[in-house]
Amino acid sequence: MTESSTTAPIITIRNVWKYFDSLPALQDVSLDIAPGERVVIIGPSGSGKSTLLRSINRLEEIDQGKIVVKGQDIMSPDNDINLIRQNLGMVFQQFNLFPHKTVLENLTLAPIKLRKLTREEAEARALGLLKKVGISEKANVYPAMLSGGQQQRVAIARALAMQPAIMLFDEPTSALDPEMVGEVLDVMVKLAEEGMTMVCVTHEMGFARTVADRLIFMDQGQIVEQGRPETLFTTPRHPRLRQFLNQIL
């Protein structure tokens, strides 16, 4: 299935333009993402895929167009962007764990301060998540002591601690040594199997093939082609997509 036409989309992106100085990073991009859908975005560097992802939680501000998350226009001053963001978990290429907090504290900080959980509730939830990502023995360790793969798994758990409806992944394995990529992808696959709505920017084609409901190829700020992964891999229609796949596959 390409798009679910029966349920309302959980993210709506309409005619979005974004400029860096005078250069357009996003050109008239439109996209709907259904709840529970797993979307993977691929493309050459500079294609705007990270910019698009970061526009969804307003880390980048769009210049034209509209982005609606769970019924709320993220650019509208009537909506509290901080509340909207609590529903969007983000995982970064550079992990961005808080180095001055232990692993457990990284996970409990936001739930305690923002969702007003008690310390016990937050820690219980955190320990459950750490178990899920396979790293519970490191709960009281500082991030500097962890490997890259371990840090990224903690980062995923941290984002999940806020129980978001949607998870955004910005090239989560690109900064990892090859032997650690697998452990992180395993966690992401598990997440996908549980039905989490995911938007993922990545170069990992194997992951895309396994997990994605829809693959989106971007080039020069535009969505050039989209569809099921097998379709795009075996019968790419657009010449630029063909060129890209030749380079990486």
Q: Does 82 bind another protein (CB under 8 A)?
A: yes
Q: What is the CA radius of gyration of the chain?
A: 18
- DSSP 8-state symbol, 44: -
CB 166 within 8 A of CB 197: yes
| 85 binds another protein per the rule CB under 8 A | yes
Q: Distance between CA atoms of 124 and 127, rounded to whole angstroms?
A: 5
Give the integer Cα–Cα distance in Å for 106 and 77: 30
**Helical (H) or strand (E) element with 16:** strand 11-20
* Residue 57: how many other CB atoms lie within 10 Å: 20
- Out of 64, 145, 179, 193, the only residue in the binding site for another protein (CB under 8 A) is 145
Q: Which is nearer to another protein, 152 or 226 (CB)?
A: 152
Q: Is 90 in the site for another protein (CB under 8 A)?
A: yes
CB of 124 to another protein, least distance (A): 19
Stretch that binds another protein, among 71-79, 105-113, 119-127, 129-137 (CB under 8 A): 105-113
Does residue 162 bind another protein (CB under 8 A)? yes
User: Binding residues for another protein, per CB under 8 A?
Assistant: 57, 59, 82-83, 85-86, 88-90, 92, 94-101, 109-110, 113-114, 142-145, 155, 158-159, 162
